[in-house]
Structure 1
Amino acid sequence: MKIGRNDKCWCGSGKKFKQCHLPIEEKIAKHYHQGDEVPTRELLKTKEQIEGIRHAGKINTMVLDKIAEVIKEGMSTEELNKIAHEYTIELGGTPAPLNYHGFPKSICTSINEVVCHGIPSDDEVLKSGDIVNVDVTTIVNGYYADASRMFMIGEVDEEKQKLVRIAKECLDLGLAEAKPWGYIGDIGAAISEHAAKNGYTVVQNIGGHGVGVEFHEEPYVSHVGVRGTDCLIVPGMTFTIEPMINMGVAEIEEHESDGWTIYTADRKPSAQWEYTILITEDGAEILAY
């Protein structure tokens, strides 16, 4: 849609286009003509949308905080699911994973060699030595936020402890590269370089994603990248960074019967942390963690 310089900005700010998004769009156009991949206007969130996503992020973080308070040896993953579900509802949210393309639970619980999308179960009981990723996505007033954390249960061996630590370092290094007018490839490069330096691999065919108005939006955020490539990062974008770091090979396999659970191909442990972030004029704001 063509907007005049003195027309009101498309974002609903009430400002004239020339005083609001025009400078950003002119800069995007310059990158486009240089041959860069650039985001569409739809990926730049309005002030109203940002506030909605930020609020969803606060509730999503509160749910993960609740999990951190209660998770322990001897609990089933279904117990964690029920706690997360009930607390999300209490806080005024809706668990986004529940019934999403048929997913049967409100959170994902991925233990040891499970990379992601683990389905909570009464039969799956946490034991000392386990590492588990709990992935929570919350809808509040139509807005989405998505984050996950690793938890170490009881006495965890040093190898797994290191994997969990390096996975978090990979996430934070990726976050540091999520700069306005940088590139998605910068994020993947920082993550994959740090993982390789520590003897680990990065899952390549599952990545981060835009989030906020929908559960999964553009852009796709690869955790293996080349600096200066992939989509341009622009203020107003919201997306997840969620590297999956494997102790062994990068290859993964899907559970044959449930159609969701993803394992490492060699059944060695994997670890993952995830943020939802907002790109600002100055850097990145973590909206959910």
Structure 2
Amino acid sequence: MAIMIKTAQEIEKMRISGKALRQVHNAIAPHVVAGASTMDLEEIAVKKIAELGAIAAFKGYHGFPAALCTSVNNEVVHGMPNAKRILAEGDILSIDCGVIIDGYYSDAAVTYPIGKVSAETTKLLEVTKASLERAIEQCQVGGRLGDISAAVQELCEAEGFGVVREFVGHGIGRAMHEDPQVPNFGAAGKGPRLKAGMVLAIEPMINAGGPEVRVLKDGWTAVTIDGSYSAHFEHTVAITKDGPQVLTR
């Protein structure tokens, strides 16, 4: 496993990419409402990415057709924007997006409630987001990769939620996916040492029901096997001697 260590200058370039990505997410957020289509949100993202002089990291990646992954309700990840997919009260929507600026990638995801959602769904979103924050806290020089994974798994499973195994976080830099893989499950104290200059895309994908997923016939959209809702939050995080720096905050 060849884990790329970034220089301070490279991390600064990734911070610029991450800041642009946050602006894309901020542009989309007010439009995540009942009655909007997921294609409406895609069009907003494409326009904002162009305004920022960035490149949509997902579009064309292994043939993916869009700038956003828009995953609704029981869709876990890699949902595709569609003009016929209209958001309704009580839905949840994961928006995952990445951009490239000056050759450096950033990657971040947010899951939104559409209007009023159930108490269980609210808890799913809150716990998944909290698990990401807990994972980020583990991004300390001298720690182990498993510390990050265990932080997510322990919190989410203690609350009765299913931790997806098939999709994991990853290193990121001049490529979208670099070593190491960053699972959302595992044992603390195991795995590679965390070193200053590592940059990780940490992304809990957590199901209200069981952890099992399957991919639809479109070859992209992953859904929960039991039909339960799924939440997804992600940040790009640099490990530094001064602690974790969230580049997409």
Give TM class, smaller chain. Answer: over 0.9
Distance 1:167 1:175 in 2: 13
**Cα distance in structure 1, aligned partners of 2:7 and 2:177:** 18
Which residue of structure 1 aligns with residue 11 of structure 2? 50
Tell me how far 1:232 sits from its aligned partner.
1.3
What do residues 19-48 of structure 1 show as CA deviations (whole Å, max 9, x unaligned)? xxxxxxxxxxxxxxxxxxxx74x6110222
1:178 paired to 2:130: no
Counterpart secondary structure, 2:53: coil
The aligned counterpart of 2:63 is 102
Determine if contact 1:108/1:117 at 8 Å carries over to the other structure.
yes
Q: Which residue of 1 aligns with 2:127?
A: 166
Query: Deviation at 1:201?
Result: 1.3
Matching residue within 152, 156, 160 for 2:117: 156
By relative contact order (CA 8 Å, sep 6+), the higher-ranking structure is: 2
Q: Return the alpha-carbon distance in structure 2 between the equivalents of residues 243 and 65 of structure 1.
A: 21
1:189 Cα shift?
0.8
1:70 CA drift (Å):
2.0
SS of alignment partner, residue 87 of structure 1: helix
Give 1:198's aligned residue: 159
Instruction: Give, in whole Å, the separation in 2 of the partners of 1:223 and 1:283.
Output: 20
Structure with more of its chain in strand, by fraction? 2
Tell me how far apart the structure 2 counterparts of residues 70 and 124 of structure 1 sit (CA, whole Å): 14
* Structure 1 residue 190, shift from structure 2 partner: 1.1
Structure 1 residues 166-193: Cα deviation after superposition (integer angstroms, max 9, x where no partner)? 1001111111111111011001111111
1:284 to 235, 244, 247: 244
* Superposition map of 1:77-226 within 5 A: 77-226=38-187
Letter in 1 for 2:158: K
Matched with 1:275 is: 235
Q: 1:237 aligns with which of 198, 216, 221?
A: 198
Q: Residues of 2 paired with 1:113 and 1:251: CA distance?
A: 11
Tell me how large the CA RMSD over aligned residues is.
1.0
Gaps of 5+ in 1: 1-38
Q: Say yes or no: does 1:264 pair with 2:224.
A: yes
8 Å Cα contact 1:49/1:213 also seen in 2: no
Query: How many Å separate the matches in 1 of 2:96 and 2:45?
Result: 10
CA distance in structure 1 between the aligned counterparts of 2:52 and 2:42, rounded to whole angstroms: 15
Count of residues paired in the alignment? 249
- Give, in whole Å, the separation in 2 of the partners of 1:159 and 1:226: 27
What's the offset of the Cα at 1:196?
Answer: 1.1
Structure 1 consecutive aligned stretches of length 4 or more whose deviation exceeds 2 Å: none
Identical aligned residues as a percent: 39
TM-score (norm 1): 0.84
Structure 2 residue runs without a partner (length 5+): none
Superposition deviation, residue 282 in structure 1? 2.2
